[in-house]
Amino acid sequence: MLPTQPSEIKASVKTVVLTASEVAAIKRVSPHVKLINNRVVEKIRSEYSAEDELKFARLSISALDPAITVSAADKQAFAAYQAAVESARTWGRVEKAKMGL
């Protein structure tokens, strides 16, 4: 527990609302944000390799072309991949929100 703050300090403390550019600047240089970002990638890499991600990027582009048929198995695999990635990203957003970012 922290000691009681002197009244001069206590009176000078104010709540600050950060602008979007200030939040972005903090995110760029914060070692905590970098660690969270690395952990998001680690969570994804624990299930999918970079090559897997390239495959799913190609699949998602192929799905936009009506001339290309994407198999049901590929669609199912892509849906599982998307769910895993979104889960990791959500975790990262929650962790950053805990820091007010």
Where do the domains of the chain lie? 19-98
pLDDT tens-place string over residues 59-93: 999 888 889 999 999 999 999 999 999 999 999 99
**Lowest mean pLDDT: which of 4-8, 34-38, 53-57, 84-88?**
4-8
Q: Residue 52: what residue type? A: D
Please indicate, yes or no, whether the overall pTM of this predicted structure exceeds 0.85.
no
Helical spans, DSSP H, in 1-101? 7-12, 20-29, 31-45, 50-64, 72-98
